[in-house]
């Protein structure tokens, strides 16, 4: 029975001894004893087999256990060697026990220096002395005291004088008799992740280029201001700011200069606003200001005026002196809108109005602006279909020479007979076409149509066609001119392109290059509406214009004896003469104006006095009657 490992030996021994015993009892005739000893031997044999089996099962289980614990320690070792995590353990008095190397490393100390030191002391830094724990550390100390388990607790710790973030989990440890025996848990350093998530949170709310709050933060601030205004029955406001002529700076001097300019604009904006306002960048050259308390209606106007004033001062960027202006649109909440979206949209509508009026002004939202915007939207919708529907026609206005009063050319002026809107003036739809770039196909049609019509006129009569900046900057523009000339068979010298000064504001070099290609074909270029734009005389020397057209406002002024108008016309005529250009007086309506411009020395005259813009047939008949009269 003592040898459970060798059951076979036991069974054989009992068998031999049993058989001998039973046989001797049988010979001696003691049958009862023989049966008893046979039974005894049977019990011993089965007992030996059973104990042997138990012994084997225990052995197998034991070896299984050993294997398992090896796996566990292997896993633990791997975990310990892992990047960030470590195991920690403290006793009932919250002193560190069985310090693992990783934990010691995380604390920046040797394991011996840590063993049996108070856990909180090790991670509190100077706060241990002052007792002013950061709240997260306080929270940890409380949980340890209350013997509560915790998981993924974010704790601000001080290691070697440096602030770090640890994520700790822990559970109370019980000894064999179920009594509390300290804590055991895991921890990891999450400082990097936390810092990057802080950074992401910052980047999500601030604009990287200017450091100003971005659209998201402005929206939140406006929502908060609206809530406050609603609760206390006061008013808040939203102002939308757009820079005037910023695109010109960006297009001509490049994005780097543009970006620096935006940073300067932001500095000026932040210097203007008070605690009551929050200013931010909405994107591009658009900025916004949330006025938290706008109960004093004048306040918004005052801020708007200050913004326009400050942003319109010249900027020195990269050795360039830059001039940009600002347009502002504002809306009052909750009067003009009780949600962030409507308030922002309405401020945008007001801004749009300001832009429409030429910029540099502040406009307050009013409901009528909706109608205005709606009308524009409808107009745009129709304009997109106008070409297919053949709704454009050309009229021609004669230009006569100042001395002989003969027709020397016609200016082609486009007209839109819209099915939905009736006759729409080019003053209204050309800017819209420019904004939507529809001017490119429309202008192409005008060029082809005008050249075709001009071939019906005497060869001495030229045709002038107006071309927008948007058209000129289109890379296909020269090809469009070539196509119009070749399809109609018109001599290039009979085509004159009219441009305004505004083309030199946006992208002067591209515009100039395009015009030079047109001139190389043999066409001439006239400068339209002279004096109304930027009036920088510099480009008059650079470009070989054939004609300068003096704007009607100067003609009118000069006829009324306005000294400034007179001086301007005189100067233009003198300069044109010296540069071998001709001058055309625009918009001459009566005898007095004719006499004035003639006396001032303009070479050509255009205006209602000699003829209004007329249809193609009427224009053609002009030559018939002239030649008839001559004949
Ligand atoms: P613009 O090129 O300066 O054209 C002269 C404008 O003055 C025309 O107006 C003409 O009708 C008007 N006008 C001519 N004589 C007189 C006058 O004696 N008194 C007055 N009060 N006005 C006179 P319209 O046809 O309304 O055109 C306005 C502007 O629209 C044009 O100014 C031009 O800038 C633009 N435009 C017209 N057709 C086209 C075109 O085919 N393409 C482009 N890009 N612009 C065009
Ligand atoms: Mg013109
Ligand atoms: Mg003009």
What is the Cα–Cα distance from 254 to 211, expressed in whole angstroms? 21
Please state the atom number of ligand 1 nearest to the C-alpha of residue 433.
Answer: 44
Residue of minimum CA distance from atom 3 in ligand 1: 529
Residue of minimum CA distance from atom 20 in ligand 1: 587
Residue of minimum CA distance from atom 13 in ligand 1: 587
Average of per-residue pLDDT across 247-267: 88
Provide the pLDDT for residue 54.
87
Provide the pLDDT for residue 427.
92
User: How far does the centroid of ligand 1 lie from the alpha carbon of residue 413, in Å?
Assistant: 6
Q: What is the 3-state secondary structure (H, E, C) of 608-630?
A: CCCCCCECHHHHHHHHHHHHHHH
Please state the atom number of ligand 1 nearest to the C-alpha of residue 426.
Answer: 30
Please state the atom number of ligand 1 nearest to the C-alpha of residue 608.
Answer: 18
Contact 399, 605 (CB under 8 A): yes
Listed range (72-81, 429-438, 479-488, 522-531) with the worst mean pLDDT:
72-81
Q: Is 431 in the pocket of ligand 1 (CB under 6 A)?
A: no
Q: Is 258 in the pocket of ligand 1 (CB under 6 A)?
A: no
Q: Is 547 in the pocket of ligand 1 (CB under 6 A)?
A: no
Provide the pLDDT for residue 391.
97
pLDDT tens digits, one per residue of 503-516: 876 677 888 999 99
Provide the pLDDT for residue 419.
94
Please state the atom number of ligand 1 nearest to the C-alpha of residue 394.
Answer: 41
Cα four-point dihedral sign 551, 557, 563, 569 = positive
Q: Where are the domains of the chain?
A: 7-74, 85-196, 210-366, 382-624
Average of per-residue pLDDT across 238-247: 92
Question: Could you give the percent of the chain with pLDDT greater than 70?
Answer: 94
Residue 534 clears pLDDT 60, i.e. is over it = no
Number of Cβ within 10 Å of residue 140's Cβ equals 25
pLDDT tens digits, one per residue of 134-154: 889 999 999 999 999 998 889
Of 125 and 385, which is predicted with more confidence? 385
Contact 18, 38 (CB under 8 A): yes
Q: Is 587 in the pocket of ligand 1 (CB under 6 A)?
A: yes
Phi-psi region of 376 (alpha: psi -120 to 50; beta: other; left: phi over 0): alpha
Q: Is 629 in the pocket of ligand 1 (CB under 6 A)?
A: no
Rg for the chain (alpha carbons), in Å? 48
Residue 79 clears pLDDT 80, i.e. is over it = no
Average of per-residue pLDDT across 364-384: 91
Average of per-residue pLDDT across 144-173: 90
Average of per-residue pLDDT across 206-218: 91
Residue 445 clears pLDDT 80, i.e. is over it = yes
Residue 627 clears pLDDT 50, i.e. is over it = no
Buried b (16+ CB within 10 A) or exposed e, 395-422: bbbbbbebeeeebbbbbbbbbbebeebe
Cis ω for the linkage preceding 334 (within 30 of 0) = yes
Please state the atom number of ligand 1 nearest to the C-alpha of residue 498.
Answer: 2
Q: Could you tell which of 394, 399, 412, 413 is best to mutate to test the pocket of ligand 1, judged by most ligand atoms within 8 Å of the CB?
A: 413
Average of per-residue pLDDT across 516-545: 82
Same fold, 210-366 and 382-624: no
* Closest listed ligand to the CA of 526: 2
Q: How confident is the model at residue 111 (pLDDT cuts 50, 70, 90)?
A: confident
User: How far does the centroid of ligand 1 lie from the alpha carbon of residue 495, in Å?
Assistant: 17
Residue 291 clears pLDDT 70, i.e. is over it = yes
Q: Could you tell which of 426, 439, 444 is best to mutate to test the pocket of ligand 1, judged by most ligand atoms within 8 Å of the CB?
A: 426
* Closest listed ligand to the CA of 447: 1
Q: Is 423 in the pocket of ligand 1 (CB under 6 A)?
A: no
Provide the pLDDT for residue 1.
59
Provide the pLDDT for residue 48.
85
User: How far does the centroid of ligand 2 lie from the alpha carbon of residue 402, in Å?
Assistant: 18
Provide the pLDDT for residue 251.
76
Please state the atom number of ligand 1 nearest to the C-alpha of residue 549.
Answer: 3
Q: Is 607 in the pocket of ligand 1 (CB under 6 A)?
A: yes
Q: Is 466 in the pocket of ligand 1 (CB under 6 A)?
A: yes
CATH class belonging to 85-196: alpha beta
Provide the pLDDT for residue 536.
57
What is the Cα–Cα distance from 227 to 307, expressed in whole angstroms? 26
Which residues, 6+ apart, have CB-to-CB distance to 310 below 8 Å?
268, 269, 271, 272
3-state secondary structure of 397: strand
Q: Which CATH number fits domain 210-366: 3.20.20.80, 3.30.70.270, 3.40.50.1000, 3.40.50.620?
A: 3.30.70.270
Cα four-point dihedral sign 112, 113, 114, 115 = positive
Cα four-point dihedral sign 619, 624, 629, 631 = positive
Q: How confident is the model at residue 376 (pLDDT cuts 50, 70, 90)?
A: confident
Q: What is the reported pTM? A: 0.60
Contact 172, 143 (CB under 8 A): no
Residue of minimum CA distance from atom 15 in ligand 1: 607
pLDDT, the chain, mean: 89
Residue 584 clears pLDDT 60, i.e. is over it = yes
User: How far does the centroid of ligand 3 lie from the alpha carbon of residue 207, in Å?
Assistant: 44
CATH number given to 382-624: 3.20.20.450
Question: Nearest Cα to 362, choosing from 427, 292, 433, 291?
Answer: 291
């Amino acid at each position: 029975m003592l040898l459970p490992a060798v059951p076979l030996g036991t069974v054989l021994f009992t068998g031999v001894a049993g058989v001998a015993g039973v046989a001797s009892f049988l010979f001696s005739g003691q049958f009862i004893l023989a049966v008893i000893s046979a039974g005894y031997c049977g019990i011993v044999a089965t007992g030996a087999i059973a104990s042997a089996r138990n012994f084997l099962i225990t052995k197998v289980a034991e070896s299984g256990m050993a294997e398992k614990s090896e796996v566990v320690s292997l896993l633990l070792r791997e975990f310990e060697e892992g990047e960030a995590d470590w195991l920690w353990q403290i006793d009932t008095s919250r002193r560190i026990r069985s310090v693992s190397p990783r934990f010691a490393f995380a604390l920046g100390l040797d394991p011996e220096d840590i063993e049996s030191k108070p856990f909180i002391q090790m991670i509190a830094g100077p706060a241990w002395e002052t007792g002013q724990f950061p709240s997260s550390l306080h929270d940890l100390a409380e949980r340890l005291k209350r013997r509560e388990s915790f998981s993924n607790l974010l704790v601000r710790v001080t290691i070697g004088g440096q602030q770090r973030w640890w994520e700790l989990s822990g559970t109370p440890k019980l000894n064999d008799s179920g009594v509390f025996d300290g804590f055991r848990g895991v921890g990891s350093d999450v400082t990097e992740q936390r810092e990057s998530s802080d950074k992401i949170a910052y980047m999500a709310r601030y604009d990287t280029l200017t450091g100003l709050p971005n659209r998201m933060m402005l929206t939140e601030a406006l929502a908060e201001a609206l809530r406050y205004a609603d609760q206390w029955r006061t008013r808040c406001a939203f102002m939308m700011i757009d820079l005037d002529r910023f695109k010109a700076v960006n297009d001509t001097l490049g994005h780097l200069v543009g970006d620096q300019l935006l940073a300067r604009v932001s500095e000026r904006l932040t210097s203007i606003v008070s605690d009551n306002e929050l200013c931010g960048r909405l994107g591009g050259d658009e900025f916004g200001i949330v006025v938290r308390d706008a109960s004093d209606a004048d306040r918004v106007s005052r801020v708007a005026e200050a913004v326009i004033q400050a942003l319109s001062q010249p900027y020195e960027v990269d050795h360039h002196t830059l001039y940009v202006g600002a347009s502002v649109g504002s809306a009052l909440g909750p009067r003009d809108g009780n949600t962030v979206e409507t308030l922002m949209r309405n401020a945008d509508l007001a801004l749009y109005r300001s832009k429409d009026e030429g910029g540099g002004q502040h406009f307050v939202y009013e409901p009528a602006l909706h109608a205005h915007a709606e009308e524009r939207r409808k107009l745009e919708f129709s304009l997109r279909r106008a070409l297919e529907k053949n709704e454009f026609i050309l009229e021609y206005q004669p230009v006569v020479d100042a001395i002989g009063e003969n027709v020397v050319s016609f200016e082609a002026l486009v007209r839109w007979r819209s099915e939905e809107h009736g006759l729409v003036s080019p003053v209204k739809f050309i800017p819209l076409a420019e904004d939507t770039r529809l001017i490119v196909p429309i202008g192409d049609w005008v060029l082809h149509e005008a050249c075709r019509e001009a071939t019906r006129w005497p060869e001495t009569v030229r045709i002038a066609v107006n071309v927008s900046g948007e058209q000129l900057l289109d890379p296909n523009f020269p090809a469009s001119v070539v196509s119009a000339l070749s399809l109609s068979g018109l001599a290039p010298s009979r085509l004159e392109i009219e441009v305004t000064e505004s083309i030199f504001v946006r992208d002067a070099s591209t515009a100039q290059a395009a015009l030079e290609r047109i001139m190389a074909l043999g066409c001439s270029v006239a400068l339209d509406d002279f004096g109304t734009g930027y009036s920088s005389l510099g480009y008059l020397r650079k470009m070989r214009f054939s004609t300068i057209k003096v704007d009607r406002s100067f003609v009118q002024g000069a006829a009324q004896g306005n000294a400034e108008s007179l001086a301007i016309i005189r100067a233009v005529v003198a300069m044109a003469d010296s540069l071998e250009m001709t001058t055309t007086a625009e918009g001459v309506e009566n005898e007095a104006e004719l006499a004035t411009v003639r006396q001032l020395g303009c070479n050509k005259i255009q205006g209602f006095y000699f003829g209004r813009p007329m249809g193609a047939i009427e224009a053609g008949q002009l030559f018939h009657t002239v030649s008839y009269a001559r004949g």
